[in-house]
Amino acid sequence: MDETLPTCTTLAECNAHHGERVHVVGVYTVWDPLPERARNHPPAQQVMLMFGSRDEGPYLEAWGHEGHLRPLDEIARYSGKKVRVTGRFLREMPPHPTDPPEATSLGGPCIHPIETIALAH
């Protein structure tokens, strides 16, 4: 682990490091855009970090970019647990790679690209 990188535990701390490599510590939380998912529909694989019980943090990877659908084994290993994610923090997601400039996309902060995910101590 790179001890020289800043560590963020709140969105305000992360926002102060826009565009920088950081460690972000929060609870690994699956974000489900379909809360009433049909039984035969694949499980949600979008993940965000939560800071406290209601403070939404960054998504893991930018929507539509490689890695934004997190692997199911990773979800099983970390869901609901406090993790440290290392990567570049962005206040707003870059556009979906195949969208034209005028397209609407999911917004919000993200860690993109992610370098590592590990349990936080």
**What are the extents of the domains in the chain?**
7-33+43-119
Q: What integer pLDDT is reported at residue 104 of this predicted model?
A: 66
Give the 3-state secondary structure of residue 12.
helix
Q: Which CATH number fits domain 7-33+43-119: 2.40.50, 3.30.360, 2.60.40, 1.25.10?
A: 2.40.50
pLDDT in tens, the chain (121 residues): 667 999 999 999 999 999 999 999 999 999 887 778 778 888 889 999 999 878 899 999 998 888 999 999 999 999 999 999 999 999 999 877 777 777 666 789 999 999 999 999 8
Distance CA 23, CA 69 (A): 20
pTM: 0.89
Distance CA 75, CA 13 (A): 25
Give the 3-state secondary structure of residue 21.
strand
Distance CA 104, CA 114 (A): 24
Give the 3-state secondary structure of residue 78.
helix
Helix (H) or strand (E) holding 114: strand 110-119
- Is 63 in contact with 31 (CB distance < 8 Å)? no
Q: Which of 83, 79, 105, 81 is nearest to 94 (CA)?
A: 105
